[in-house]
């Protein structure tokens, strides 16, 4: 695998893993090697072209990589192995099997390697730019089926950053994640071991928390009227006085509502509302005349203007 992997032309195992661990630890900060906050181009390929060393201070533990003889061997002979696996082997295969030496070098060697690189780079750019955030919304990683399709799974990047130890990136069984299927297959034939899966309950917990965050954010943009505790107090007498002077005010559940802009639109008719102006229509609203829907209760809350202090109980109309 170390030999085949080097053919992707994406650096040695130790270099790749070091940068990947730094990316996870410092994501979206100046210590992130592919910091998407510096722009799409920088995250995609700019960080390779303009090596500015700004993230040299990041710290990650790679003692396990340094202790692995295969990783060290691949790193030592990286360039020789890359030329062999990325260019010579494809050229020789195409040349010997169907006689197209040039095609093997250009298509399978040069174009193939460059294509695979672009796909991998798109994880640092596209997967931090476009898509949904079903597991966390603070950092940039995103889930996107198209990115997942071209990167063979890695595009479920939001999950990957929230549960980085999980060998899967597409966590649902039907998510397009050939990488997880391959790793699982390798584990069956002894080429991979110690596969980690985050507990389903933890994944579900985080997904539901995120749903609640998204709902809360959406709810903040909805007009629910003034909160009851922020309403000014008004006496029952002052309320009636204002209603007598022509204000279209109705009390329901101890709250004064201004129905001026709604009275002609009332689905139950203008007359029914006019009849309760200056009075307490709680019981009529809550079922005495008609049991209003939740939508009607929501609408009612947007009409709040004051809270009645010391309301005489006998004022409720039935």
Q: Which residue in the set 148, 300, 306, 308 belongs to the binding site for ligand HEM (CB under 6 A)?
A: 300
Q: How far apart, in Å, are the Cα atoms of 94 and each of 1, 30, 106, 139, 298?
A: 21, 44, 11, 44, 70
Instruction: Give the one residue of 289, 301, 311, 316 binding ligand HEM; rule: CB under 6 A.
Output: 289
Site size for ligand HEM (CB under 6 A):
21
Cα pseudo-dihedral 31, 35, 37, 42, rounded to 10: 130
Of 149, 83, 92, residue with least CA distance to 110: 83
309 contacts: CB under 8 Å, gap ≥ 6: 233, 234, 235, 236
Q: Give the single-character DSSP code of 77.
A: T
Cα distance between residue 123 and residue 141, in whole Å = 9
**How far is residue 97's CA from residue 78's CA, in Å, rounded to a whole number?**
27
Q: Choose the stretch contacting ligand HEM; rule: CB under 6 A; options: 16-24, 66-74, 179-187, 272-280.
A: 272-280
Q: Rule CB under 6 A: choose which of 299, 301, 305, 315 binds ligand HEM.
A: 299
Q: Residue 315 interacts with ligand HEM (CB under 6 A)?
A: no
What is the distance between the alpha carbons of residues 291 and 268, in angstroms, rounded to a whole number?
Answer: 11
Quick one: which segment of 61-69, 75-83, 100-108, 286-294 binds ligand HEM (CB under 6 A)?
286-294
Selected binder of ligand HEM within 266, 274, 279, 315 (CB under 6 A): 266
Does position 293 interact with ligand HEM (CB under 6 A)? The reply is yes
Q: What span, in angstroms and rounded, lies between the C-alpha atoms of 251 and 231?
A: 13
Residue 276 is a binding residue for ligand HEM (CB under 6 A):
yes
- For the CB of residue 244, give the shortest distance to ligand HEM in the complex, in Å: 18
The residues, ordered by sequence, that sit 6+ positions from 229 with a Cβ below 8 Å of its Cβ are none
Where in 234-263 is the site for ligand HEM (CB under 6 A)?
A: 250, 257, 259
Which of 32, 143, 285, 308 binds ligand HEM (CB under 6 A)? It is: 285
Among 2, 17, 48, 272, binds ligand HEM (CB under 6 A): 272
Stretch that binds ligand HEM, among 155-163, 194-202, 206-214, 291-299 (CB under 6 A): 291-299
């Amino acid at each position: 695998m170390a030999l085949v992997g080097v053919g992707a032309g994406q650096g040695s195992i130790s270099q790749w893993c070091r940068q990947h661990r730094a990316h996870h630890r410092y994501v979206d900060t100046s210590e992130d090697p592919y910091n998407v906050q510096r722009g799409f181009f920088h995250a995609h390929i700019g960080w390779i072209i303009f090596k500015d060393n700004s993230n040299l201070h990041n710290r990650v533990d790679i003692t396990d990589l340094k202790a692995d003889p295969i990783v060290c061997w691949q790193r030592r002979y990286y360039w020789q192995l890359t030329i062999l696996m990325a260019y010579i082997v494809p050229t020789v295969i195409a040349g010997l099997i169907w006689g197209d030496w040039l095609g093997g070098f250009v298509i399978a060697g040069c174009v193939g390697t460059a294509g695979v690189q672009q796909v991998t780079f798109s994880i640092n750019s596209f997967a931090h730019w476009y898509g949904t955030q079903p597991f966390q919304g603070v950092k940039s990683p995103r889930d996107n089926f198209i990115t997942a399709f071209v990167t063979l799974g890695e595009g479920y990047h939001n999950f990957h950053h929230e549960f980085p130890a999980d060998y899967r990136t597409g966590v649902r069984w039907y998510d397009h994640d050939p990488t997880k299927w391959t790793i699982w297959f390798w584990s069956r034939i002894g080429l991979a071991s110690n596969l980690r899966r985050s507990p389903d309950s933890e994944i579900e917990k985080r997904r539901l928390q995120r749903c609640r965050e998204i709902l809360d954010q959406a709810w903040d943009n909805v007009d629910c009227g003034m909160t009851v505790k922020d309403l000014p107090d008004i006496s029952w007498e002052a309320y009636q006085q204002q209603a007598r002077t022509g204000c279209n005010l109705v009390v329901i559940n101890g709250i004064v509502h201004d129905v001026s802009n709604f009275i002609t639109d009332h689905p139950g008719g203008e007359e029914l509302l006019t009849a309760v102006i200056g009075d307490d229509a709680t019981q009529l609203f809550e079922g005495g005349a008609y049991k209003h829907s939740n939508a009607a209760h929501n609408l009612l809350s947007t009409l709040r203007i004051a809270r009645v202090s010391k309301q005489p109980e006998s004022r409720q109309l039935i």
